[in-house]
Structure 1
């Protein structure tokens, strides 16, 4: 599945793998939410609530699309967060890995805290 993520100053697409969380996410698209930033991570609330899946990770590659079960939020990391060690992408806690951004993850640097953000099927 492909999704499109858009905000006032840009957009990107992502390829999402087949997982229980991604199936739940697909069932509620489109989502309109408010972007939050935490270091070089963008995250935002979703109407999906799910548990941690096997294979959940806290340290991910830049551009990973993850779901944060503790916050019912999508998390898009493109660089270090306040708890990272060095240049790693370290999320707040283990997240379900859903897929990857199709474009350069640095595009997420144009997302501002409080921006409206929309996720829809691409």
Structure 2
């Protein structure tokens, strides 16, 4: 069962909350639904969100499928592969991010060209 539904340029994805950053997760959940026009940085999409949370358990190297909040710019990030900051194939943020969820299947994101419209909301079937 998923916790979140993500729509990226019409592609439907699901994600599950993680417990790594509970304060950030609570702030993101309270702000849902979130939507915006994303920018792409390697295999990462990011868009502005109306959330202001400090670094909690921040890290730069994240797993494929990580949904993370970047306190340095108040943006939500979706990672599915290497970024310009990566060392090898692992996704890597420009500076520490707070991971809040993990996308179940990122394969549809490889089809995204450039930026994309993104919407994140609670999964109505949860």
Describe the superposition over 1:40-65 as per-residue Cα deviations: whole angstroms up to 9, x where unpaired: 11111111111000x31100111111
Residue segments in structure 2 that go unaligned for 5+ positions in a row: none
Secondary structure in 2 matching 1:107: helix
Runs of 4+ in 1 over 4 A off after TM superposition: none
* Cross-structure match for 1:51: 54
* Cross-structure match for 1:17: 18
CA contact (8 A) 1:2 1:15 kept: yes
RMSD: 1.5
Distance 1:77 1:114 in 2: 13
Aligned residue pairs, count: 120
Secondary structure in 1 matching 2:107: helix
Deviation (angstroms), 1:33: 0.7
Name the TM-score, length of structure 2 as normaliser.
Answer: 0.87
Residue segments in structure 1 that go unaligned for 5+ positions in a row: none
* Cross-structure match for 1:100: 102
Secondary structure in 2 matching 1:119: strand
Name the TM-score, length of structure 1 as normaliser.
Answer: 0.89
Matched, 1:6 2:7: yes
- Over 3 Å counting, the alpha-carbon distance change for 1:80 and 1:114 in structure 2 is closer
Out of 8-17 and 86-95, give the one that drifted further.
8-17
